[in-house]
Amino acid sequence: MMKEVIRRIGSRLLFNSVPVQGSAGGQLAEKTKLEAVPDAVGPGPPHGVPDTAQERIAVLERQLAGARQELAAKAREVDVVQRTVADVHEAIETIDAGFAMFDRNDRLVFCNQQYYATFPELTADDIIRPGVAFEEIVRKGAERGLVEAAVGRVEAYIKERMEKHRYPGDPYEYRQKGGTWIRTEERRTPGGTYVGTRTNITQFKQIEQKLAKLLAEQKAHLSAFAQYAPVSFMVKDRKSRFTYVNTHFEQLFGVRNSDVLGRTMAELRPGADLSIAIAQEEEVWKTGVASAVEMDMVANGGSVRRLEVRKFPIFGPGDEMIALGGINLDITEIKNAQNEMAYARDQAEAGNRAKSEFLAAMSHELRTPLTSSLGSLGLLNGLMSDFLPDQGKELLEIALRNNNTLLHLVNELLDFEKVLSGTLVIETQAHDIRALTSTIIHDLQGYARTQSVKFIFKAPDDPLFAQVNEHRFGQILGNLLSNAAKFSDAGRDVGIDLTCHGGRVQVNVRDQGPGIPEDFQNKLYEQFTQVDSSSSRQHRGTGLGLTISKALTERMGGELSFDTEIGVGTTFHISFPQLTISLSPAA
């Protein structure tokens, strides 16, 4: 009975222990079968010893459970491998390039859909399929004219292509029928198989061709620019031999391109002093820095031209200086013009000095007799006016007015000469501008009455201080007031007001005259200028008043400006930085 039980268990083991080919689990199952069968069919334990049979059955059951567990583990490993292979296949299918693998016998093992797409004609005819030889694919493509490089030379192309396939190296590119560009890259694996990728680079080739065309056009434009530029342009090698000269170079030196290339300047101009040019070129080659010098060169026709020679390094790959470029600028006319301007400037300065000396001398010579004459006329007027007839009094007053006018003009000329020579010295101190302005207006009220106008002064109650020279401030304001009175119509008012804003004290003199014409405004402060410069002008003067006033104002740190409107009038502004002075009440 026990033998039958053991036999049945052994039969069950034989049925369940089918070997798994190619796996460790199969070997283990086979081993289990071999170990179990002898026990099942061989002589069992002696009859009447059930414990031993039960132990053997337990051992067999444990062996069977272990075998099944190991088989399950191996099955899981196989499943992982299968999933990994599927993932690899899926990844290969997603790449943009065509991918293929060939075995040791150079037959196709696997390729993705992109690889098929690069051979649409061969794919359609089922030429590309697992098991086909690589050379067969190449031959069919060449024979059908699918590769432009194979047209008319099929066998030669096949030989070249197979050579690249057997000994793969750098990627290479070729063009297919219809204009498609393919980039191929192949590698041999350590196991002896081949893998390769095929990428459609048509779009990149089109961009590359456009760039090449653009670069060619730019190169042509640059070449034309250099060739026909209105400057002499040249290139030299390390031995100072000309490798390029443009048309202007040929014209400047009276040479032909064919006579210059490959030769040095010393060969073209034997005996000429080229020391400056040679030293300049050596410096550029040594330092790699551009250089500019001026030199005289004998040009076409034997004329000597002044040139500004600029030489600069030309670098190649790796920042290595490979050539020397040069530009020759003909500055002869510029130099001549500069020399003429320098001569004219010297002459003008000499004339200006002579004028200043003349003005100074004449002013001093005139002021002495004028002062004396004015004093005598004033004394005579004071002593004899009561004894002179009306006609005599009138003549004496005319003489006094003219002498005062002449003395005023002489003083203006002296001031102007000091301004020009830079010898005008002005000492300043803090003054109440309100008080100074009021005094000056009061002193000139008589002159205002002679012009049939009134001076109307408006000022704040508190003093306003600035750093000025009392005499010069009076000279400036007096000139502006006299101008305002002269140019205002009879019966009009001249407004004077004092303001303070932005940290500056400002005096404004406003007339009601004709205004300043626009074309004269930008030269109002020029010397010896007046709005009406004709010989019959209504208002006499040197034309220096505003010139001197502006110079005096600026020497004291102030500003002189104006606003004008035709038919309405003009307002002049004198402003100085305000001083803050605390006035303590008397003790």
- Residue 426 corresponds to which tokens in the numbers above? 């002005």
The residue-averaged pLDDT of 302-309 equals: 86
Q: How confident is the model at residue 362 (pLDDT cuts 50, 70, 90)?
A: low
φ and ψ of 326, to 5 deg: -150, 145
Give the model's pLDDT for residue 19.
Answer: 40
pLDDT at 523: 76
Highest mean pLDDT among 290-299, 389-398, 533-542: 290-299
Is 90 exceeded by the pLDDT of residue 511? yes
Residue range 337-418, CATH number: 1.10.287
Q: By percentage, how much of the chain surpasses pLDDT 90?
A: 33
Higher-confidence position of 394 and 37: 394
CATH architecture of 229-330: 2-Layer Sandwich (3.30)
Q: What is the mean pLDDT of residues 206-217?
A: 88
Q: Is the pLDDT of residue 13 over 60?
A: no
pLDDT band (50, 70, 90) for residue 193:
very high
Rounded to 5°, the CA angle 362-365-369 comes to: 135
CATH class of 425-579: alpha beta
Packing angle, helices 332-384 and 390-421, rounded to 10: 150
d(CA 539, CA 545): 13
pLDDT score at 1: 37
Look-up: residue for tokens 């050579």?
Answer: 163
The residue behind tokens 């407004």 is 495
Confidence of residue 543 (pLDDT cuts 50, 70, 90): low
**Under 8 Å between Cβ of 465 and 578:** yes
DSSP-derived 3-state class of residue 246: coil
Given a cut of 70, whether residue 113 has pLDDT beyond it is yes
- Cβ-defined contacts of 32-36 (< 8 Å, 24+): 32/63, 32/64, 32/67, 35/63, 36/9, 36/10, 36/60, 36/63
Q: Which residue has the higher pLDDT, 300 or 170?
A: 170
Partners of 152 in the β-ladder? none
Once rounded to an integer, what is the mean pLDDT over residues 106-112?
Answer: 92
Q: Looking at the chain, how many residues does it have? A: 587
Residue bearing the bigger pLDDT, 356 or 200: 200
479, burial (CB in 10 Å: exposed 0-12, middle 13-18, buried 19+): buried
Question: Do the domains at 95-206 and 229-330 have one common CATH topology?
Answer: yes
User: What CATH number has the domain spanning 95-206?
Assistant: 3.30.450.20
Spatial distance between the Cα atoms of 29 and 15, rounded to a whole number of angstroms? 11
Give the CB-side neighbour count of residue 372, counting CA atoms within 13 A.
Answer: 5
How confident is residue 531, by pLDDT bands cut at 50, 70 and 90?
low
Whether 20 shows a pLDDT value over 50: the answer reads no
Question: How do residues 47-93 score in pLDDT, each as one tens digit?
Answer: 444 568 888 888 888 888 888 888 888 888 888 888 887 877 787 88
Burial of 142 (0-12, 13-18, 19+ CB in 10 A): buried
What is the predicted pLDDT for the residue at 400? Answer: 73
Give the pLDDT score at 399: 76
pLDDT band at 229 (very low <50, low <70, confident <90, very high): confident
What is the signed CA dihedral for 482, 483, 486, 488, rounded to 10 degrees?
A: -110
Residue 95 structure tokens: 């790449």
Round to whole Å and give the CA distance between 308 and 334: 11
What is residue 584's DSSP assignment? P
pLDDT band at 405 (very low <50, low <70, confident <90, very high): low
Sequence spans of domains, the chain: 2-90, 95-206, 229-330, 337-418, 425-579
Res 244 pLDDT > 70: yes
What are the C-alpha distances in Å from 520 to residues 311, 512, 532, 542? 50, 18, 10, 17
